[in-house]
């Protein structure tokens, strides 16, 4: 359930989630509360530093999370702390270890963590995430295997298959493969170009992408190299638009990596983005295991 975030004074924000938790459990789906470092300016490195570097604040946050999970009948928690700095690398792993111990002391609760995709430990802005250390102290990880291209980058595939594969191969050398949930995108991006440079960009769902191609009557291409669809069109003002996104073919290519690498399962960001083929594909390729 997305999301609870840490407020000034180290309390957690509120969420009207009781009906969703009850509905989830009625379908034998384990509800997990997501805890983030989101602020009005986005994911905050300063907030993470404050929480992780001060033992008193860290313990208060742990207490808040444990209370939330137990009182609201969650099955556990997902920690989605983004932009963790290299200087907080060991502190972050230690925080997860303490939180997992506290949760296990209260019952059978899951602890998972959302991790940015990385293919080695030399990428400066990702050194705060110790895949090996984190994998040893949590029940499973959700690897966000997407956003190789974003609105802030030149146009390109959102989740190119070779980068997804490289991410998996790095991860399984750091942690057991059965602790890895492979995360997929349910979206893409549309870039508006001007003289060969990006003028603006926005996220589009799978449905939106297909509607764009249909409304401008342009063919959808498919990259066998990246295993992702794309197309280009010009608007009424003559501006060129480039769209890369995820579709059923791209999803199948990634799903087949799960048995190949013996991963725990699959996940996606996010369910509010309409991708009607996705559920059908999963049910055709997998037997879904219920944990409740």
Domain boundaries along the sequence of the chain:
4-186+247-285
CA distance 68 to 138: 18
For 129-142, how does the pLDDT look when each residue is reduced to its tens digit (9 = 90+)? Answer: 999 999 999 999 99
What span, in angstroms and rounded, lies between the C-alpha atoms of 113 and 96? 9
Residue 288: the pLDDT is: 86
Q: Give catalytic status of residue 246 as yes or no.
A: no
Residue range 34-69, pLDDT digits in tens = 999 999 999 999 999 999 999 999 999 999 999 999
- Tell me the pLDDT of the chain (292 aa) as tens digits: 999 999 988 899 999 999 999 999 999 999 999 999 999 999 999 999 999 999 999 999 999 999 999 999 999 999 999 999 999 999 999 999 999 999 999 999 999 999 999 999 999 999 999 999 999 999 999 999 999 999 999 999 999 999 999 999 999 999 999 999 999 999 999 999 999 999 999 999 999 999 999 999 999 999 999 999 999 999 999 999 999 999 999 999 999 999 999 999 999 999 888 898 998 999 999 988 888 8
Q: Which of 3, 64, 82, 236 is catalytic?
A: 82
- What pLDDT score was predicted for residue 9? 81
- Find tokens 């995360």 and name the residue: 183
CB 187 within 8 A of CB 158: yes
Which class would CATH give 4-186+247-285?
alpha beta
């Amino acid at each position: 359930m997305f999301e609870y975030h840490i407020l000034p004074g180290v309390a957690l924000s509120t969420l009207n989630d009781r009906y969703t938790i009850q509905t989830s459990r009625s379908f034998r789906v384990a509800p997990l509360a997501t805890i983030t470092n989101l602020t009005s300016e986005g994911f905050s490195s300063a907030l993470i530093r404050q929480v992780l570097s001060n033992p008193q604040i860290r313990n208060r946050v742990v207490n808040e999370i444990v209370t939330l999970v137990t009182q609201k009948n969650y099955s556990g928690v997902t920690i989605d702390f983004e932009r963790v700095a290299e200087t907080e690398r060991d502190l972050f792993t230690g925080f997860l270890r303490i939180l997992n111990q506290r949760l296990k002391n209260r019952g059978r609760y899951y602890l998972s963590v959302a991790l940015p995709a990385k293919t080695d430990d030399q990428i400066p802005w990702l050194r705060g995430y110790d895949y090996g250390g984190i994998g040893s102290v949590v029940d499973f990880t959700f690897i966000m295997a997407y956003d190789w291209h974003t609105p802030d980058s030149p146009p390109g595939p959102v989740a190119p298959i070779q980068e997804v594969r490289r991410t998996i191969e790095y991860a399984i050398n750091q942690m057991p493969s059965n602790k890895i949930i492979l995360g997929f995108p349910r979206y893409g991006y549309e870039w508006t170009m001007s003289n060969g440079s990006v003028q603006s960009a926005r996220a589009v769902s799978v449905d939106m992408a297909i509607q764009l191609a249909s409304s401008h009557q342009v063919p959808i291409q498919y990259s066998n190299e990246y295993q992702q669809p794309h197309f280009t069109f010009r608007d009424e003002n003559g501006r060129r638009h480039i769209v890369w996104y995820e579709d059923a073919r791209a999803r199948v290519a990634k799903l087949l990596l799960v048995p190949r690498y013996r991963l725990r399962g699959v996940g996606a960001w996010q369910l509010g983005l309409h991708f009607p083929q996705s559920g059908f594909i999963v049910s055709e390729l997998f037997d879904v295991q219920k944990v409740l």
